[in-house]
Structure 1
Amino acid sequence: MDPETTGTTRVPLTLISGLVPAATADLAEEVRAARPGTAVVHHDLREIRGGVVRRRLQLDDRDETTVLELAHGCVSCTLREDLLPLLRRLAGTPGVRHIVVRLDEAMEPEPVCWAIRHVLVGDRPVIDFVAIDGVHTVLDRGSWLADATGDDTLAERGLQASQDDERTVAQVALSQAEFADVLVLTGTADAWTDAKTAAVLDRVAPAALRTTRLADVPPDARRGEVTDMHGPLLHGEPPLGADCGVATLLFTAQRPFHPERLHDALDVLLDGVVRTRGRVWVASQPDMALWLESAGGGLGVGHAGPWLDAPDGPAWTDVSPERRTLASLRWHPVFGDRASEIFVVTDQATPAEIDEALSGALLTDAELAAGQREWLTYEDPFGAWHEEPCEDTDETQDVNVTSGTEKQ
């Protein structure tokens, strides 16, 4: 029976992510031991390219593994066809007082939380039946920094989440850490690796609680709330100074980028940069904000939706208060809320050289004066987009946990 139709409260749900499966399994077992009535769900994606997913469900004395065969081997299908319906059923199962979703190494918690909140199962989203009470990410102190700054792809590690998954290990490692309410540190590392790992985490996940064991989620944690791409780029307050060679840059501009010069300048984000995230205004696409993201040696560019000032932009009343505030502060009488804002965490590169490269990709005064009609004639290398084969409805587009961006 459904919790809301019977007047009962929503069942608490915890997500556990990380690149160290043994440690995430241990953490899930800790939760089971601490909270009687906990159901633990885990989908093993190692055979997903062949359309096979192995789902393990643990509840009290039950420990069942089910082999699922999917029409398309991708995480979107796993979420839509099995995980989301299963969560709704578990929420209505007598004796289930808590649910833990232990994510496969290749899965990122943010799109899973988006699916729980927005994708309908029957006539309602799963969030009507569960309450996300925290996202825990497990990090190995000895290997996480190398993963987060390296060039290895998931395919090279045997961790692809679909046939066309082109993500790097760094992209997954950083997105798992950034979305966490609690970072659980396991393993050991030398003093320098420990210090540098802490410096990176201070900047990419400043609001997350760091611990070495199961801990309560802080009261002000985001608890699976998905961020608006047009809202603040970071939760918390990262340090402004450098530490262990790790520094930050917040690049902002209220004139557009020249598409070809920006494309060339992006190389500066692939060497000596830990992380890049931000919104980009490109002159050849005046109505659409682009989302720029890099991690280690991987970089992607995707759509972030229309600007408020665009002809088909959302109404002010339909966007978050944070987006309205940011737009009001920077509103331009001609260009409206169009602007670029990019947050960069550097390692070997310096913020000054990145700022110089990005600044050089902006339109010159003469190009700006030429106007939008001229801008539309520019060659645009950002015009092609990668799509998953099962993404045939708007409802599932943002559920995709594999590469949804065009690699540059």
Structure 2
Amino acid sequence: MPVVIVAGLHADARRAAVEEILRTTPGSVALHHDVIRAADSVVYRTVRDAGHLLSGGEVPQVDDCACCALRADLVPQLLRLADEGRHQLAVVELWDSVEPQAMAALVAAAGGPLDLTGVATAVDPALVLPYLSNGDDLADVGLAAAATDRRTVADAFARQLEYPTVIRGRRRGRRGTGPGEPLAERRPTRAPAPPA
């Protein structure tokens, strides 16, 4: 089963990108681990398609680490979805400060029925510079993925920008786009596509 990872500290832009994929790709499903309540030792997993929540439940933390719980749960959940045979694409929507490179390595190493086909970071163009220059600790702004997370907003955001094959920007004031009107995007590792 093809797997696409979508990361992004800009939650609204990330959600819009995932919703667009679900809406425009028949048979797609999104897997998300919400670690907002990590301080309460709670990670909440949801699986949804374009119109419905398919399942949800708590995932136990591993060594008091929400990101460790995500790493332990991600591949087994993707394998379960692949084994069901009902989905054509799995979209992994990473939580705010989770970096895509480590999660992509997990999926790629799993092999078998999982085929990592892309990694994207969704951004709000108006927030790129403010986030890249933000020295606040993730813990101080409620975005730490673990009690020991000492990264700053700028650190986490820079790592989200440096790894993906696609960076997608959401235009302000828009609720998304139709299938024939793609969001603005930049492919940092590829030459720009020729104009149509």
TM over 0.5: yes
- Whether 1:144 aligns to 2:128 is yes
- Identify which of 54, 59, 62 aligns with 1:68: 59
Query: For the Cα contact (< 8 Å) 1:51–1:72, is it kept in 2?
Result: no
Question: Is structure 2 residue 85 aligned with structure 1 residue 94?
Answer: yes
Quote the sequence identity (%): 25
Distance across 2 between alignment mates of 1:54 and 1:33: 23
Matched with 2:161 is 177
2:177 matched residue in structure 1 = none
| Structure 1 pair 214–28 and aligned structure 2 pair: CA distance change class (3 A) | farther
Specify whether residues 141 and 183 from structure 1 end up closer, same or farther in structure 2 by C-alpha distance, changes over 3 A only: same
Is 1:153 matched up with 2:145?
no
Deviation at 1:48, TM superposition (A): 1.6
Q: Distance in 2 between matches of 1:212 and 1:172?
A: 26
Query: Which structure has the larger Rg?
Result: 1
Change (3 A) 1:59 1:93: farther
> Residue 399 of structure 1 corresponds to which residue in structure 2?
none
* 3-state SS of 1:135 partner: strand
1:212 CA drift (Å) = 6.4
Q: Which residue of 1 aligns with 2:69?
A: 77
Q: Is the CA contact 1:39–1:59 (under 8 Å) kept in the aligned structure 2? A: yes
Pairs within 5 Å for 1:179-328: 179-187=163-171, 213=183
Give the residue type in structure 1 aligned to 2:43.
V
What are the ranges of 5 or more consecutive residues in structure 1 without an aligned counterpart?
1-10, 119-124, 189-210, 222-234, 238-408
Partner Cα distance (2:51, 2:143) in 1: 30
Secondary structure, counterpart of 2:84 in structure 1 = coil
| Structure 1 residue 61 displacement after superposition | 5.1
Aligned to 1:114: 105
Indicate yes or no: 2:35 matched with 1:45.
Answer: yes
In 1, Cα distance between equivalents of 2:34 and 2:157 = 18
Whole-angstrom CA distance in 2 between matches of 1:155 and 1:43: 18
Q: Distance in 1 between matches of 2:49 and 2:102?
A: 25
Other-structure match for 2:149: 165
CA drift of 1:85 comes to: 0.4
Name 1:135's counterpart in structure 2: 119
Q: Which string of whole-angstrom CA distances, capped at 9 and with x for unpartnered residues, describes residues 199-248 of structure 1?
A: xxxxxxxxxxxx96177x97xx8xxxxxxxxxxxxx579xxxxxxxxxxx
- SS of the counterpart of 1:92? helix
**Deviation readout 1:133-153 (Å, 9 max, x if unpaired):** 111111111111121122111
- 8 Å contact kept, 2:27–2:88: yes
- Counterpart of 1:105 (choices 96, 102, 126) is 96
Among residues 12, 16, 28, which one is paired with 2:18 in the alignment? 28
Task: Quickly say closer, same or farther: Cα 1:145–1:152, change in 2 above 3 A.
Answer: same
Q: Which amino acid aligns with 1:25?
A: R
**Aligned-partner Cα distance in 1 for 2:157–2:62:** 28
- Taking CA–CA contacts closer than 8 Å with sequence separation of 6 or more, which of the two structures ends up with the larger relative contact order? 2
Q: Is the 8 A contact 1:40 1:100 kept in 2?
A: yes
Structure 1-normalised TM-score?
A: 0.41
> What's the TM-score, normalizing by structure 2?
0.83
TM-superposed CA distance for 1:111, in Å, is 0.5
Distance (whole Å) between structure 1 residues aligned to residue 125 and residue 33 of structure 2 = 25
Where does the alignment leave 5 or more consecutive residues of structure 2 unmatched?
173-180, 192-196
Contact persistence 2:10–2:123 (CA under 8 A): yes
Query: CA distance change for structure 1 residues 17 and 171 in 2, over 3 Å: closer, same or farther?
Result: same
Q: Does 1:56 align with 2:42?
A: no
Distance 2:62 2:166 in 1: 35
- Asked if the contact 2:123/2:168 (under 8 Å) is kept, the reply is yes
Root mean square deviation of aligned Cα: 2.4
Task: Write the letter of the residue equivalent to 1:21.
Answer: A
Q: 2:117 is paired with a residue of what secondary structure?
A: strand
Residue among 4, 25, 30 paired with 1:14: 4
- Is contact 1:48–1:161 with CA below 8 Å preserved after alignment? yes
Equivalent position SS for 1:129: coil
